[in-house]
Structure 1
Amino acid sequence: MEQTLITGSLLHDLLRCDHRVALDLHSEDWGVGEAEVSDHPLWTGPVHEYEHIIQGLIAENPGSVDLRRVDPASRQARTLLAIDALAPVIVGGEIAADDLLGRPILLLQEDDGYVPGEVSSSDAITRVPSMFEGVTLALHCDILERNDLLAWPGGYLVGECSIGRVDLHKAVDDGNTTLLDGYADALESARDIIDDVVVTRSARAPECWMCHWRNLCGPDVKDRDDLTQLDTVDRGTRDALVGTFPTVARLAAADIEGFVRGSATDFSQIDAKRLRELHGLAVRFVESNPRIIGSRDALQRMPLGP
């Protein structure tokens, strides 16, 4: 059986929707409709939007190598040759290690090693990297490190007029989560999904319109009365609540004050104000949707929290 390799595109899809990754890998029940999704997770527009930035780097660094038009079958070998030659900039290379496959837009030579780079359409110095960018950079750093080629644990965002250094160990939120933490979590989830040892759930999200599974997931979300039917409820919020409130109807019928602890609640990263807001959304949703059988008053009420 051919090994499934973990790529930047796979991790990008996973951060948006783990269920899509699971369906892509394990389901034969293809949905109707095609989605045009960029091959590179960070490039949301045509390549030519960034071409002048890439050409500027090449012009400023004699000896740079552009491998984007090289036969894909020989791209890894050509990348290693460019690395051996200490090419200052390698564009469109391919690197691999174990179950990881990386196609960094840029590899930048520093000291005796390399760091990955991503092209940014905005100010690369002042902008905080997104988790998508951080996970992609971390994947490429991981591969370089496994090949003893990593100069330092991070990379660069290269903008039109600036270059920003990205430290993977730097916290990106109030919980001190680092980009490296995000990568480690995504990598673990990806391997669990590939090994088919984890159950994922469909959800409703803004990006669903461009997914080729939308005609399969849409009805499933309604049939399960999934919490993501509620406005502002994303997968993270749903997953925090689903063990106690598996459906919108159950949330609407609950006495949520039993789960409130002052300004906090029994649910991770959901405070009392937010829980009451979600309960109100659920009540209004149930009352306005006749397809949910039974009125709110007829639904079984949840027990008080512990």
Structure 2
Amino acid sequence: MSKITASMLYNFVQCPHRFTLDLFGNSKDRDPVSPFVQLLWDKGSAFEKEVIEGLETAFTDLSKFKGEEKERMTQEAMKRGDNLIYSGRITAGDLVGEPDILRLHNKFYIAGDIKSGAGEEGASEDSEGKPKKHYAVQLALYTDILEMLGVSGGRCPFVWDIHGEEVEYDLNAPQGVKKKESLWALYGTCLGEAIAISRKAIQTLPALAANCKLCCWRSLCKKEVKESQDLTLIPELGRGKRDVMIASIRTVSDLAEADISRLIKGKKSPFPGIGPDSLLKFQARAKLLQSAGRPYIKKEFALPNAETELFFDIETNPMRDICYLHGFLERRGSSERYVSFFADSPTTEDEEQAFAQAWEYIQSSRPCAIYYYSPYERTFWRKLRERYPYVMTEEQLDELFSPETAVDLYNHVIKPCTEWPTNDHSIKTLAYYLGFKWRDTDPSGAASIEWYHRWVESGDQTIRQRILEYNEDDCIATRVLLEGIRSLSQKSH
């Protein structure tokens, strides 16, 4: 059996089939590492170096050592009671851990990792963030090893995150109000399944999911999913739902042809977590995919009527926590133009200036209707308003994104009111379906982040222009989608 490492569990949480392919897949089937993923690795290493160089306390540095020598020196450092150990290695049984930090705590040790991302996820105006599962299983593996070695200072490992915060992961605490299972129990489940996969006692299946875009096995899995007519080809029917259905309904064709009425008993279906309404929705989508049908309206909706329309899209860099571009396609009657506000450097001054200019432009364009895709623009503008309160008031922000004049096409129209014969409802998928093509050969938000990094480093105007053209195409795609939606509305009458 292969040794189980923290990074392997990280990948397992992201996708169990990735874990399988990393162990048993043919390396020839791997996709090349994308520039964006390489940037993530480089930024992670650079951030770790920055944090370590900024430590004001003495520490034992084992980063130059490898393998058994690193492990031996880690054991010696812990026996001495060194206060802080950087880049150690600990093992127990089939588990191997290389935590960034081992810190003395009540004469024993707790582990920590340095992450170039936020230590928690899901924070909003109404709720606090919660631990990231893929971070938690890594920290739990280190803690498990420390316990087996008899040197654990408790189940309270930590993350030093991009914001300079130390985020404690209480592994014994419930994951949330509704989910009482602890992170420690989650780790135990993941570890058990990972071990079973490594022994070939469990077989995993590929699935279509959002995080496939950054995976090195994405092309192979996409091919296999299509060949097998896997249920995850249906929008919003993810791996978890597929796994509870697959014993009874295995393919898109099976679901399209199933007698759903025989499966539904009152307000329940035979599949845990999938109610009758969801099951009927998935079947309708399966039929649409199976027949290569046309998109249609399932629920009436209203769109604003305005002579001026703004199609709005922003570009952000989560690694720098900056919004570097606000783009608008402005349409007045039969004429349209692209307007952009670009932060030439990743500074608060340039970010604030671009934000202020974008807000001034919107005000000067009124009255108008604004169209965007998904809540991200609204969410990030709220963050910008809090960051730069002199640019606009909270009342102005709320009024700006009022649904009477600002429409989130995804949440207000596409998701609740229409159906499409596609495998997902991303703006790119739907715009491609409607015949639109981006000018760039690699159009994605992730690619734009990597381009902006290179623009900041080099000042190359061709890179800046590439970012602007990509954003302009995103705005045009939003307009194309609106026109497609309006054509559906006309056909429904």
Structure 2 length-normalised TM: 0.53
Distance 1:32 1:89 in 2: 38
Paired residue for 2:145, among 122, 143, 146? 143
Letter in 1 for 2:80: A
Q: Secondary structure at the match of 1:114?
A: strand
The number of residue pairs the alignment matches comes to: 283
Q: Secondary structure at the match of 2:167?
A: strand
Letter in 2 for 1:33: D
Match of 2:89 in 1: 94
Distance 2:200 2:284 in 1: 36
Distance 2:262 2:43 in 1: 48
Whether contact under 8 Å (1:38, 1:44) holds in the other structure is no
Aligned residue runs from structure 1 range 30-41, under 5 A: 30-35=28-33
Q: Secondary structure at the match of 1:239?
A: helix
Task: Report the Cα offset of residue 186 of structure 1.
Answer: 1.0
Task: Report the Cα offset of residue 87 of structure 1.
Answer: 1.9
Match of 1:300 in 2: none
Whether contact under 8 Å (1:171, 1:178) holds in the other structure is yes
Paired residue for 2:206, among 202, 206, 211? 202
Using CA pairs below 8 Å that are at least 6 residues apart, which structure has the higher relative contact order? 1
Task: Report the Cα offset of residue 140 of structure 1.
Answer: 0.5
Structure 1 length-normalised TM: 0.82
Identify if the C-alpha distance between structure 1 residues 9 and 282 changes in structure 2 by more than 3 Å, giving closer, same or farther: same
Paired residue for 1:165, among 152, 165, 168? 168
Match of 2:425 in 1: none
Task: Report the Cα offset of residue 189 of structure 1.
Answer: 0.9
Identify if the C-alpha distance between structure 1 residues 71 and 9 changes in structure 2 by more than 3 Å, giving closer, same or farther: closer
Aligned residue runs from structure 1 range 241-260, under 5 A: 241-260=245-264
Task: Report the Cα offset of residue 81 of structure 1.
Answer: 1.7
Q: Secondary structure at the match of 2:173?
A: coil
Which string of whole-angstrom CA distances, capped at 9 and with x for unpartnered residues, describes residues 212-260 of structure 1? Answer: 4334322221111001111222211111111111001111122323333
Q: Secondary structure at the match of 2:28?
A: coil
Letter in 1 for 2:218: R
Whether contact under 8 Å (1:138, 1:183) holds in the other structure is yes
Percent pairwise identity: 27
| Structure 2 residues not aligned, in runs of 5+ | 294-493
Q: Secondary structure at the match of 1:107?
A: strand
Between 1:28-37 and 1:197-206, the stretch displaced more is: 28-37
Match of 1:129 in 2: 131
Distance 2:61 2:98 in 1: 13
Identify if the C-alpha distance between structure 1 residues 69 and 127 changes in structure 2 by more than 3 Å, giving closer, same or farther: farther
Whether contact under 8 Å (2:109, 2:152) holds in the other structure is yes
Whether contact under 8 Å (1:31, 1:214) holds in the other structure is no
Identify if the C-alpha distance between structure 1 residues 144 and 133 changes in structure 2 by more than 3 Å, giving closer, same or farther: same
Q: Secondary structure at the match of 1:202?
A: coil
Q: Secondary structure at the match of 1:154?
A: coil
Match of 2:50 in 1: 52
Distance 1:277 1:44 in 2: 43
Between 1:198-207 and 1:156-165, the stretch displaced more is: 156-165
| 2:186 paired with 1:190 | no
Identify if the C-alpha distance between structure 1 residues 102 and 264 changes in structure 2 by more than 3 Å, giving closer, same or farther: same
Which string of whole-angstrom CA distances, capped at 9 and with x for unpartnered residues, describes residues 255-300 of structure 1? Answer: 32333344432212222332222222212211217xxxxxxxxxxx
Match of 1:293 in 2: none
Identify if the C-alpha distance between structure 1 residues 123 and 182 changes in structure 2 by more than 3 Å, giving closer, same or farther: closer
Distance 2:199 2:16 in 1: 13
| 2:76 paired with 1:74 | no
| 2:11 paired with 1:13 | yes
Distance 1:267 1:193 in 2: 24
Identify if the C-alpha distance between structure 1 residues 105 and 257 changes in structure 2 by more than 3 Å, giving closer, same or farther: farther
Distance 2:85 2:60 in 1: 5
Letter in 2 for 1:140: Y
Letter in 1 for 2:86: V
Distance 1:52 1:191 in 2: 35
Whether contact under 8 Å (2:119, 2:131) holds in the other structure is no
Task: Report the Cα offset of residue 203 of structure 1.
Answer: 1.7
Task: Report the Cα offset of residue 93 of structure 1.
Answer: 1.0
Q: Secondary structure at the match of 1:207?
A: helix
Distance 2:276 2:42 in 1: 37
Distance 2:6 2:279 in 1: 35
Distance 1:48 1:195 in 2: 36
Whether contact under 8 Å (1:240, 1:267) holds in the other structure is yes
Whether contact under 8 Å (1:96, 1:102) holds in the other structure is yes
Task: Report the Cα offset of residue 38 of structure 1.
Answer: 11
Task: Report the Cα offset of residue 152 of structure 1.
Answer: 0.7
| 2:270 paired with 1:266 | yes
Distance 1:211 1:263 in 2: 38
Whether contact under 8 Å (2:14, 2:134) holds in the other structure is no
Distance 1:132 1:144 in 2: 19
Identify if the C-alpha distance between structure 1 residues 188 and 38 changes in structure 2 by more than 3 Å, giving closer, same or farther: farther
